[in-house]
Structure 1
Amino acid sequence: MKDSKITKKKSSKIDATKKLAEKIKQQALKNQQSTTTTTTTASTSSTTITPIEVNPDEELKFKSFSELKLVPELLESIQSMKFTKPTPIQSEAIPHALEGHDIIGLAQTGSGKTAAFAIPILQALWEAQSPYFALVLAPTRELAFQIKETFDALGSTMGLRSVCIVGGMDMMDQARDLMRKPHVIVATPGRIMDHLETTKGFKLKDLKYLVMDEADRLLDMDFGPALDRILKVIPTKRTTYLFSATMTNKIEKLQRASLHNPVRVAVSSKYQTADNLVQSMMLVHDGYKNTILIHLLSEYEGKLIIVFTRTVAHAQRTALLCRILGFNAVPLHGQLSQAQRLGSLNKFKSRSANILIATDVAARGLDIPSVDVVINYDIPTDSKAYIHRVGRTARAGRSGKSISLITQYDLEMYLRIESVLGKKLPKEDMPPKEVLDALHPNVDRATAEAIRQTKELHEKRGKRRNRDDADREER
């Protein structure tokens, strides 16, 4: 009898233990499901994108900047810059940006992207008036200076302080500029990272806005590690704008790492050229390429022309060739100092030199609305680079013309470009044979002289570099 009672008591304890274990198990499952749901929701909220495809032909979201609730000082600057009607990317992106959303803007160069992110930042800055308010990252020095010019013009009546921090300039001068506590910093990633690591007292812990312009090119140019380091030292609680010509896998990863619940605004999801651009090609013999170029420059005398070459040596030599033959030409390439590059650009913009001989450093980002003709002296190896090159003309509603010189060695690359364009380019008529024959001997002599001068220039640069290296070693 006693044993039976003990057995029942044990059985009762076991049942209670089992019930408790089951209860704990059920509670644990419930908590796990709750955590999973929360994590999923959080993950979804951080990566959810509201896609907005913008048809440039459709009615704009707002037709005049005066419809927006912008401060009068900003409106005054917009009007003085003659921004009468917003572009499609501005019309769709600015209202979302003014509401505080992160933005992914997909649009080609020349679409008005800079104003699309500058206007919301300046509107927010009017209320905050705090230093180190916004950081804009750009892939090239030229684009960085151009973005700064736009900010300066839009913020001219607001007391805006801005600075451009790029390579090729004195670090100490830049450090002094940063210590003056500018509101907006426009920079290339490598140089701003240098200052974050070495300039005492310079921090971006209170940064409110981050812009990555031409983000696809930032990543193509191997700025990825610098971007990662920048993202680690700036606040996670900020507003971020990412602008790019295309949405690549690298951009997707960057967006997931740095944007919170962004609105994606895409004006054009595929590569295309402007409708008002007349494109053509000319089949040329390699030995007559310079002669045909000089003939074309004579044909379009007085027009604003950009001639694109594939290499720095070609750009330098061709600029010298043009100058020897009496044309007002200036070079633009990566081996020039920053002062020389800006000097060439300013001469071209002011028309004191109407011909710019450039590598692909000028293919993207530069906003020179009145370029009449683009000549591809060398065909680019990348089809997308062709789109960007010819996009330097036919901007802001103007018409433009592009001519590509195709030799027997360029046919494969040319066919790839036609495939991307989805159409064949019409053939440009060759100049009459008698005209080329009369011109060729003079061009040949001038080419030989240009090659000699180019070689001399390289030797001088080499000696200067050696002297600089020796000086550094002595110090």
Structure 2
Amino acid sequence: MTTFESLGLNESILKGIQELGFVAPTPIQEQAIPVLLGGDRDFVGLAQTGTGKTAAFGLPLLQQIDIKNNKPQGLILCPTRELCLQIANDLKNFSKFLGDVNIVAVYGGANIGMQLRELKRGAQIVVATPGRLLDIIDRGAVNFDNVRYAVLDEADEMLNMGFQEDINSILSNTPEGKTTWLFSATMPQEVRRIAKNYMEDPFELTVGTKNSGNANIEHEYYVVRPRDKYAALKRIVDFNPEIFGIIFTRTKIESQEIAESLIRDGYNADALHGDLTQQQRDKVMKRFRERSIQVLVATDVAARGIDVDNITHVINYELPDDVENYTHRSGRTARAGRSGVSIAIISGRDIGKIRQIERVIGKKFIKAEVPDGFAVCEKQLFAMVHKVHNVVVNEEQIDPYLTRIYEEFADLSKEELIKRFASLEFNQFLEYYQDAADLNVKEDSRVRGEGGERGSARRSDGKFTRLFINLGSVDDFTRGDMLRFICDSTGLRGNKVGRIDLKGVYSFFEVESDAVDKVVQSFKKVERNGRAVRIEMSQDGDKRRSGGGGRREDGGRKRSWSGSSEGGESKGGFRERREFGGDRRPSFRNKK
């Protein structure tokens, strides 16, 4: 077995990675590190997300820099702030025993003044997103005359995000004699063009097949009617009680809408997209890493750089427009040799795109059936049974209560006790999925009728009233946070709350009209950060409406965001279609 010691890394770096628990190099690390330690040849590395590319270029880079020279010698460009922070943190951990190594992360959405001060103090390595770094270069706040190594990480994604001109401008501010290392998951023509323009006879290394998918990922697709996508999503999540995954959408508004609907329906979910502030994004990611969020709803751009272990599922609520982006999405799971599942929920017209993806990744998709209500209930029941069977009993803490517990159950046999226990919450699930419709579209059938999941994609038909609350985004709220805050403070179920209009220092939200008094009374004694929470009836009478949350007023017509692949926000508008949300499902699930 190859070891890190055999790759030529020095003792200080080896000590750092050993403390992090690194045992053996991954294939990309094993093959790239010896080449990069040579230090004088351009390099192109192709490997899938989650294969350890950061260490593959980070460890050799740390070994090559001159610690005594406090000027930028290494420049790493990456597409998103999440990835920027991840790389910077990894390098800091790798260099723990190297001495005084300064690594500065430069990215948008954060205080530029603080980043300028850090650069002024000196740094051997700068990790940056192109837009923010170009801003800093234009201010004349950084000098790259000493840069010896330029690293382009996730090069394909930077080009997909439109950073071609920014990359050209940035690299033009670095010495011609530098060494350039390019890492990418795929190799489209645009990336090949960068290699040609900025590299001289680069060493090319491909781990796996170009543009291929991770061999440890199973790929599945479910064919449903566009109107049944949300119902199918919930059923798939329910059928996988131990799921810890990411749901991908095309647009920011869709990710927010789906996340809010999932929260209303009793799931541990939240959204990650470009409209969140850095503080809000950090908060969401912290909760996701701690697994207090079980499913994260994200756009492609926001999910770049998510480095979270043990993600079990990736769900494509909408397939990406660029087929190659599917590789990036699916690469969020099955990291570091683990296995995972990538799921696509599609309509019949997307079958052709599935075939395209199969050709790109070199793997066949499995056509799966959306489980029926019985299968979901059975899976949930036995997940709970296994959890009870394997629970660790704290004998010392429970002992004082055991006598009374035994007395309560004295008249029940073991069999009767098991049946009652299993029925306690399971009956709710059985009721929820009673007569659940078949959501699968047969390949030879036509879409007809409006059926769908019982109580799934339709909100209550009650009248809604708009209320004012003196809290907003400055209080570190997202719309999902506000929904939780309202439900926790009032005891209302999520489907009783309608549209939430989040402002800066205040917000508006809607509740069913018969719950207004309860809401007002509930908030009379509620405080937030030492400030009394104030609820008032909105004076904007024309904003009141009937119907469920998530609908939007547009010229007097009720409209809702379409969860289908037809038109929708990606084409700049809304379609008249039923909205996400629905009856709150039973809370009988494995809460992380």
Coarse TM-score class (shorter-chain normalised): 0.7 to 0.9
What is the count of residue pairs matched by the alignment? Answer: 401
SS at match of 1:445: coil
Whether the 8 Å CA contact 1:106–1:267 is kept in 2: the answer is yes
Q: Which piece of structure 1 moves more, 207-216 or 441-450?
A: 441-450
Q: 1:143 aligns with which of 83, 88, 93?
A: 83
Unaligned runs of 5+ in 1: 1-61, 464-475
Which stretches in structure 2 are left out of the alignment for 5+ residues? 374-433, 438-451, 463-493, 509-592
Q: What does residue 459 of structure 2 align with?
A: 445
**Aligned-partner SS, 2:135:** helix
**What's the CA shift string for 1:214-236, capped at 9, x where partnerless?**
11222232212222221222112
1:437-472 superposed Cα distances (whole Å, 9 cap, x missing partner): 596315522899889856724999999xxxxxxxxx
Distance 2:496 2:283 in 1: 23
Contact 1:132 1:181 in 2 (8 A): yes
Asked if 1 retains the 8 angstrom alpha-carbon contact of 2:212 and 2:362, the reply is: no
Instruction: Write the mapping of 1:65-144 to structure 2, written as runs, cut at 5 A.
Output: 65-100=4-39, 101-125=41-65, 128-144=68-84
2:330 alignment partner, one of 369, 390, 393: 390
Choose which of 229, 249, 252 in structure 2 pairs with 1:312: 252
Distance 1:131 1:446, change over 3 A: farther
Q: In the superposition, relative to structure 1, how do residues 223 and 321 fare at CA in structure 2: closer, same or farther (>3 Å)?
A: same
Q: Confirm or deny that 1:173 pairs with 2:218.
A: no
More helix by share: 1
- What secondary structure, in the 3-state scheme, does the structure 2 residue paired with 1:368 have? coil
CA contact (8 A) 2:44 2:205 kept: yes
SS across alignment from 1:444: coil
TM-superposition CA deviations, 1:6-35 (whole Å, max 9, x none): xxxxxxxxxxxxxxxxxxxxxxxxxxxxxx
Q: Which amino acid aligns with 2:101?
A: L
Counterpart-to-counterpart distance in 2, 1:70 and 1:129: 20
Contact 2:45 2:206 in 1 (8 A): yes
CA distance in 2, matches of 1:174, 1:446: 49
Instruction: String of CA shifts for 1:151-195, please: whole Å, max 9, x gaps.
Output: 111012223221211111222121112112122111011211111
Residue in structure 2 matching 1:373, options 285, 309, 313: 313
Q: Contact 1:305/1:356 (CA < 8 Å) preserved in 2?
A: yes
Residue equivalent to 1:43? none
User: Of 287, 304, 311, which residue of structure 1 is paired with 2:227?
Assistant: 287
Range with greater deviation from structure 2 (68-77 or 312-321): 68-77
Using the TM superposition, give the Cα deviation of residue 356 of structure 1 relative to its aligned residue in structure 2, in angstroms. 0.6
Residue by residue, what CA displacement relative to the aligned partner does 1:334-391 show, whole Å, maximum 9, x if unpaired?
A: 1211222222122111112121111112554432231011111112222212222122
- 2:196 corresponds in structure 1 to 256
2:139 matched to which residue of 1? 198
Alignment check: 8 A CA contact 1:137 1:213 kept: yes
Question: Does residue 232 in structure 1 map to residue 172 in structure 2?
Answer: yes
5 Å-filtered alignment, 1:214-233, equals 214-233=154-173
Percent identity, aligned pairs only, is 36
Amino acid at match of 1:292: A
Return closer, same or farther for 1:247/1:279 CA change in 2, 3 Å cut-off.
Answer: closer
* Aligned partner letter, 2:436: L
Query: 1:127 and 1:179 mapped to 2: Cα distance?
Result: 16
Cα distance in 1 between the residues matched to 2:139 and 2:499: 38
In the aligned structure 1, how far is the partner of 2:305 from the partner of 2:327?
Answer: 12
Is the deviation greater in 128-137 or in 413-422? 413-422
Verify the 8 A CA contact 2:156 2:186 in the aligned structure 1.
yes
1:227 alignment partner, SS class: helix
- Residues 118 and 419 of structure 1: is their aligned pair in 2 closer, same or farther, counting only changes over 3 Å? closer
CA offsets 1:22-64 (integer angstroms, 9 cap, x no match): xxxxxxxxxxxxxxxxxxxxxxxxxxxxxxxxxxxxxxxx811
TM-score (norm 2): 0.63
Shift of the alpha carbon at 1:319?
0.6
Question: Bigger shift: 245-254 or 390-399?
Answer: 245-254
C-alpha distance in structure 2 between counterparts of 1:189 and 1:450, whole Å: 42
State how far apart, in whole Å, the 1-side matches of 2:148 and 2:364 are.
Answer: 48
What is the rounded CA distance, in whole Å, between the counterparts of 1:194 and 1:394 in structure 2? 36
Task: Tell whether the 8 Å contact from 1:94 to 1:116 is kept in structure 2 after alignment.
Answer: yes
Q: Distance in 2 between matches of 1:252 and 1:289?
A: 37
* 3-state DSSP of counterpart to 1:252: helix
Larger displacement relative to structure 2 (128-137 or 89-98): 128-137
**8 A contact 1:281–1:406 mirrored in 2:** yes
* Correspondent of 1:247 among 182, 187, 211: 187
Structure-2 change in CA distance of 1:402 and 1:262 (3 Å): closer
Q: What is the letter of the counterpart of residue 454 of structure 2?
A: H
The alpha carbon displacement at 1:74 in A equals 0.8
What is the CA–CA distance in structure 2 between the aligned matches of 1:99 and 1:257, rounded to whole Å? 22
Q: Hey, what's the Cα distance between the residues in 1 that align with 2:222 and 2:211?
A: 23
Structure-2 change in CA distance of 1:278 and 1:248 (3 Å): closer
* Residue in 1 that maps onto 2:345: 405
Q: 1:451 to 1:319 in 2, by over 3 A?
A: farther
Asked whether the equivalents of residues 137 and 189 of structure 1 are also in contact (C-alpha less than 8 Å), the reply is: yes
Residue type of the partner of 1:351? Answer: R
Change (3 A) 1:435 1:278: farther
| Distance 1:247-1:382 versus aligned 2 partners, 3 A rule | closer
| Aligned residue among 253, 272, 284 for 1:332 | 272
Instruction: State how far apart, in whole Å, the 1-side matches of 2:171 and 2:125 are.
Output: 17
Is the Cα–Cα contact under 8 Å of residues 103 and 262 in structure 1 kept in the other structure? yes
Q: Which residue of 2 aligns with 1:36?
A: none
Deviations 1:299-355 (A, max 9, x none): 223431111112111100111011112211111111211222222122111112121
